[in-house]
Amino acid sequence: MTTLGPTGFLALSSALLGIGLFGILTRRNFVLLLISIEIATNAAILNFVYFAAFAPSAPLGISGQSIAVVLVGFAATEVAVGLAIVLALNRAKGTINVAEVTELKS
Amino acid sequence: MDALAMAAPFAPELVLLAAALLVFLLDVLGVRHLEALGAIGTAATGTSLLLVIADLGFGPLGALRTLGASHLDAVPAPGTAPLYAFSSFGLVFQGLFLLAAFLVSLASLSRPSHERGAAVFFGLLLLATLGMLLVAIASDLIFLLLAIELTSIASYILVGYTRRDPRSLEAAMKFYIIGALSSTLSFFGASLLFGAYGTTNLYAIRASAGAVGYPVLALLGFGFLLAGLAFKTTLVPFHAWAVDVYDGAPSDVSAFLAGGTKKIGVFAFFLVFLGPVLYLRGTGGANPFAGPPFDIGPVVQVTLAVVAVLTMTVGNVLALLQREMKRMLAYSSISQAGYILIGVTIGTAPALAGATLQVLAHVLMKSGAFLVVAAVAGLGVGPLIDDWRGLGARRPALSVAFALMLLSLAGVPLTVGFVSKFVLFSAAVQAQGLFVWLAVAGLLNSALSVFYYGRVLKAIFFDPATPTPAPSGAAMGAAGPPPLGAGGIGYARAAAIGLIAVAIVALGLYPQPVLGAIQSAATHFVAGGA
Amino acid sequence: MSLPEIAFALLAAVAVVTAIAALLVRELVHTILWVAVFFVDLAAIYFLLEAPFLGVLQLGVYAGAVTILLLFGVMVTRKRIFSREAATGIGPVAVALALLTVVFVGTGLGELPQGEVTIRAYDPSTLSVNLFGPNGAWLLLLGLIMLAAVSGAIFLVREGRE
């Protein structure tokens, strides 16, 4: 039986969300953007896990862990799609030799 | 038999899933003709649309009805937390989603048939539509967000479908980053709501909110959800991505995004902010969000109202400044989202009906407009509005159809756009108080929008044609032999555009049947269904 | 402070430091290393929260698969697209926004039960009953998402003849 104070967890997850948002707003490298998004997603997963741990009753809490399991799978899928897009973009730019990075305005 | 009875209510969804799997299977087996795969996609979305209309209780299709009338608008037993529920309001939205998917699928039959990856195009179109249908039956936050993600992931790929074109892939990348950010914010919001109420079920959240009110955690959760959904619905200040994405995506996909996938955000707004959660049901509308520890109703409504007015105005003003057709249409799409949000803000049954009718009008007008853009690009006309000069003389039928769509977007009488705005704004006036100003803002914005639609119409019909240089192969993207039929547009695309034009006028002249169905569904939604 | 509290404080500090370091270091490969540490650290927090199944999942999916995917992405796209240089003009705004988020969410702190709470442990069989039973639709949806993602990703990266 572990006992813990719950306040620290929300501080941690809000800090992670803040770091992720900071990264999404300032980084321009695609891999860094992916990592920022993953850090923020992990904050949400962490939330679900500890709200499950501190839930008032077991039936209420267990679905929090279920959600966390599903979210872990979803986040990995999302990363795979992102990398597929960036690989295709990398190749398209490479083959037709476009110097500039952005063609769409703004 | 038991399994069959269990699966029957999901017939529209299962048709789409089966068709998607069939398309992928045929691709593996070597059947890669765009026409064959596209026919499956079109037939599946059409069949599914008929099934949904039958489920809504439309008499002549009674034989197709798979969802028992008792399942519709049934309130779940207390203590149960179902992940999905069938409401007539949700079914109406399913019909709208399927209409958009059907039109885009039909028009896409005229895509260049040498194109590789038809299976992926139609397979993902079907999966995205499946996600949209599931959004419309969700009664659980996680179910809702995962269904939105199914649509989003499929549409990221669809935006990058012309994978040799860096513009298309760059749009896909932007869409992906924004989409991933918005899903992260939404899931974070859901996690805070889970922490505040111990459940993600929308009914259960409503019950707990009635009992314990809105702790700070829950308010933050709603805030994050609002931001996440605002990205999906392209509300100001989360709108900037939409223009680049609609501009860079293949025009058929832009039609699907603007006419279809964007609307799932609208429905999610209804579910989360008016549905079982912050619902005003039973309070007589006097003090809708009242509850301990303090009253958040006015805050939510004022926030939504400000966002709605900002979205309308910013979209319209920026549309006025555009020189490219697709970017102009994208900004006008943003402003239309603002009109729809008026309905969410007011939250009465007439306002919901008006917003839903506006969604229907927008499905027709905006997917139609983007399909015309795709057709015109196939004729070798450039992306600028000025390049469209003199099109009225060259392609009268196509130009008249496009003119109808623009007039409807501007809200000119005798079109569906007028009817929807009329219902919406009169609902705002009925609601009285500050809501009247929403109607005023909407009317002013409609007047503003006449300028830029009028400019396009002037270019098409009254300006002399400029001699356009022959389009270079690179600029056209995958320039192949033009599709057969209807003067280089393709029979299927011409049929889709014609259908939309007829529907715009028909619904403008005789909206009663559709309006009646929407109003009764909206009344159910407000009165106590899901 | 009790032993679990000290452990949590350490793990949380490591999580924050590694997350910041991952976004600030100059070399992308180092970024991946920091992220790997971050994911492993979160797995440790899950074990501390008596969610061993999630801890293992975090190790396998995040620390394993996602890290490898990211490393792969760095290797293939290196210096081809996207500027390496990190900062853009809106740095201070982003920091302010991030801090604001932390403060906002932090205000929710006062609502939680204060003091020590016994952590509710679920054994993996309860979890699986919940995951495949009443909440099975979530997994079904995840499967559909993966179907869309896999077919789309293969299409995008396939070297096809046009």
ipTM of the complex as predicted: 0.91
Chains in touch with A (≥3 Cβ pairs < 8 A):
B, C
The answer as to whether B50 is a domain residue is yes
Question: Averaged over C125-138, what is the pLDDT?
Answer: 89
Instruction: Determine, for residues B157 and C148 on separate chains, whether the beta-carbon distance falls below 8 Å.
Output: yes
Contact list, C156 vs chain A (CB under 8 Å): 84-85, 87-88
Cα distances (angstroms) measured from residue B439 to each of B308, B350, B446: 11, 14, 10
Per-residue tokens: B379: 């004729």
Identify which has the larger pLDDT, B287 or B154.
B154
Q: Sorting pLDDT into bands at 50, 70 and 90, what band is B58?
A: confident
Nearest CA in chain A to C74: A31
Q: Sorting pLDDT into bands at 50, 70 and 90, what band is B96?
A: very high
Domain that holds residue B305: 9-469+485-527
Contact in structure between B356 and B343 (CB atoms under 8 Å):
yes
DSSP three-state, residue C122: coil
C-alpha R_g of chain C: 20
Q: Find how far residue B454's CA is from the centre of its chain.
A: 25
Residue B275: predicted pLDDT = 58
Q: Is A18 on the interface with C (CB under 8 A)?
A: yes
- For residue A91, give the amino acid letter: R
Which of A1, A13, A22 has its CB closest to that of C118?
A: A1
Residue A28: predicted pLDDT = 77
Helix (H) or strand (E) holding B24: helix B11-29
Nearest in space to B384 (alpha carbons), one of B460, B465, B445, B323? B323
Q: Of how many residues is chain A composed?
A: 106
DSSP three-state, residue B84: strand
CA distance C47 to chain B (A): 20
Residue C113: predicted pLDDT = 61
Contact in structure between B33 and B118 (CB atoms under 8 Å):
yes
The answer as to whether B264 is a domain residue is yes
Per-residue tokens: B49: 């649309």
Q: How far is B484 from B490, CA to CA, in rounded Å? A: 5
Q: Tell me the torsion sign for CA atoms B473, B475, B478, B484.
A: negative
Instruction: Determine, for residues C46 and A49 on separate chains, whether the beta-carbon distance falls below 8 Å.
Output: yes
Contact in structure between C96 and A32 (CB atoms under 8 Å):
no
Which of A36, A63, A90 has its CB closest to that of C23?
A: A36
Question: Averaged over B307-332, what is the pLDDT?
Answer: 92
DSSP three-state, residue C78: coil
Is residue B520 classed exposed, middle or buried when 0-12, 13-18 and 19+ CB atoms within 10 A define those classes? middle
Beta bridge partners of B384: B324
The answer as to whether B475 is a domain residue is no
DSSP-derived secondary structure letter, B74: P
In the predicted structure, residue A97 carries a pLDDT above the cut 50: no
pLDDT tens digits for C79-128? 554 444 444 455 677 777 777 777 776 666 656 666 677 788 888 888 89
pLDDT tens digits for B271-315? 887 755 554 433 333 333 333 334 566 677 788 889 999 999 999
Instruction: Determine, for residues A76 and C65 on separate chains, whether the beta-carbon distance falls below 8 Å.
Output: yes
Residue B312: predicted pLDDT = 93
DSSP assignment of B244-255:
HHHHHS-HHHHH
The answer as to whether B297 is a domain residue is yes
Which of A98-102, B116-120, B159-163, B185-189 ranks highest by mean pLDDT?
B185-189
**What is the number of domains present in chain B?**
1
Residue A104: predicted pLDDT = 54
Contact list, B196 vs chain C (CB under 8 Å): 111
Residue A105: predicted pLDDT = 46
Q: What is this structure's pTM?
A: 0.91
Question: Averaged over B513-524, what is the pLDDT?
Answer: 88
Residue B407: predicted pLDDT = 92
Which of B163, B176, B200 has its CB closest to that of A67?
A: B200
Angle between helix B118-137 and B11-29 (nearest 10) = 160
The answer as to whether B4 is a domain residue is no
Least confident of A77-91, B40-54, B95-109, B264-278: B264-278
pLDDT tens digits for B157-193? 999 988 878 889 889 988 999 999 999 999 999 999 8
Angle between helix B416-431 and B349-378 (nearest 10) = 150
In the predicted structure, residue B509 carries a pLDDT above the cut 80: yes
β-pairing, C117-118 with A3-4?
Answer: antiparallel
Residue B487: predicted pLDDT = 67
Question: Averaged over B446-469, what is the pLDDT?
Answer: 83
Select the residue from B25, B84, B114, B124 to test the C interface by mutation, using most C Cβ atoms within 10 A: B124
Percent of chain B with pLDDT over 90: 43
Residue B201: predicted pLDDT = 86
Question: Averaged over B79-88, what is the pLDDT?
Answer: 81
Contact list, B244 vs chain A (CB under 8 Å): 104-106
Which of A38, A66, A81 has its CB closest to that of C135?
A: A66
CA distance C132 to chain B (A): 13
Question: Averaged over C61-82, what is the pLDDT?
Answer: 79
Residue where the block lists tokens 């990264």: A23
Residue B184: predicted pLDDT = 94
Percent of chain C with pLDDT over 70: 80
pLDDT tens digits for B250-263? 999 999 999 888 99
Beta bridge partners of B138: B84
Restricting to A residues 55-94, those with a Cβ less than 8 Å away from any Cβ of B are: 55-57, 60-61, 63-64, 67, 70-71, 74, 77-78, 81-82, 84-86, 88-89, 92-93
Residue C35: predicted pLDDT = 94
Which of C105, C153, C160 has its CB closest to that of B220?
A: C105
Interface of C with B (CB under 8 A): 104-105, 107-108, 110-111, 134-135, 137-138, 141-142, 144-145, 147-149, 151-153, 155-156, 160-162
Q: How far is C154 from B392, CA to CA, in rounded Å? A: 43
Nearest CA in chain C to A67: C138
The answer as to whether B476 is a domain residue is no
Residue B139: predicted pLDDT = 87
Q: Is A12 on the interface with C (CB under 8 A)?
A: yes
Q: Sorting pLDDT into bands at 50, 70 and 90, what band is B92?
A: very high
Q: Sorting pLDDT into bands at 50, 70 and 90, what band is C46?
A: very high
Cα distances (angstroms) measured from residue A55 to each of B196, C8, C45, C79, C117: 10, 19, 17, 47, 10
pLDDT tens digits for A1-35? 577 777 788 888 888 998 998 888 887 788 888 99
Q: Of how many residues is chain C composed?
A: 162
CA distance B182 to chain A (A): 10
In the predicted structure, residue C6 carries a pLDDT above the cut 80: yes
Every domain of chain A and the residues it spans: 9-96
Number of Cβ within a 10 Å radius of residue B462: 10
Identify which has the larger pLDDT, B271 or B23.
B23
Cα distances (angstroms) measured from residue B235 to each of B97, B190, B312: 20, 20, 9
Contacts made by residues C16-21, CB under 8 angstroms, sequence distance 24+: C16/A12, C16/A15, C16/A16, C16/A19, C19/A16, C19/A19, C19/A20, C19/A39, C20/A19
Nearest CA in chain C to A89: C81
Nearest CA in chain B to A60: B198
**Topology adopted by domain A9-96:** Helix Hairpins (1.10.287)
The answer as to whether B371 is a domain residue is yes
Conformation bin of residue B168: beta by default, left when phi > 0, alpha when psi is -120 to 50: alpha
Residue C75: predicted pLDDT = 82
